[in-house]
Each structure stands twice: as C-alpha cells, then as structure tokens.
Amino acid sequence: MQRGILNPAINSLLCRVRHTNLLVISDRGFPFFPDIETIDITLVDGIPTVLEVLRALKQNFSIGRAYMALEFRTANSPDVVESFTAALAPVEPDFEPHIQLKQRVPRAIGLIRTADTIQYANLILESA
C-alpha cells in the first residue's frame, strides 16, 4: 500500500518548495489569485478540511513559520483555535489581520484550496 500524498499535483508542488518558500492552504471562500498555482481539492462542504490537509502535508513539509488571520481567533470557538494550534505544533502561528495575510499570498509557490467552512481557516506555511 502506498503511503503519503497521493495527489500528483500536490506532490509536484511540494517538490518545488525550498527554504523559506510559502505554501497556502485555504478554506473554500478564500479569494482566487490568478498568478498563483492553485490546486482545488474541494469535494463537498467540509471535505476535505484545512486541518486534514495540514496533517497530511506535515509528513512531507518542514514548517518554519505559520501565518493565520487574527480574525480567526475571534470568529471561532476556543476549541477550533486549539485544534489548529495543536496541529501546527511545535510551530506557533503568527496572527495578523486578514488583509495583511492576503498580501503574503502573491509570494507563495502555490495554494491548495479545501472545502473547509470554518471562518478564516487559512494557513500560510513558510518552509524551514
């Protein structure tokens, strides 16, 4: 049985990530950036989620820093915030205004769009 990421487009994207490159994992409502390679893996509402993708990618991606929208903490329950914090551990996310977070996106290698419906459930991962 094969293990790890099965999606060939995501594998190709991960192979091109180098030191300090950015990778975005977005919820379904994140804006489209025409100049960024976008891999849309949405199926139906909530499948897959940002956390599911993050957990799968962590096996093949060394996270140096993580960025999230400041609004994520106020728009969601403490349990949801803790689930993201735990999934990113040992890296602690840097929270910044959503508008500022989106300004980082054009520098990303690529964006993986999920079907997550959690408000502001977007991550920008910087490779270590």
What tens digit of pLDDT does each residue of 62-114 get? 999 999 999 999 999 999 999 999 999 999 999 999 999 999 999 999 999 99
**Domains (range + CATH), the chain:** 19-127 (3.40.1650.10)
User: Looking at the predicted structure, is the pLDDT value of residue 37 above 90?
Assistant: yes
CA distances from 12 to 81, 92, 110 (A): 30, 27, 10
Residue 60's pLDDT is: 84
User: Rounded to two decimals, what is the model's pTM?
Assistant: 0.95
Q: What is the pLDDT of residue 41?
A: 97
50: how many CB neighbours lie within 10 A of its CB?
24
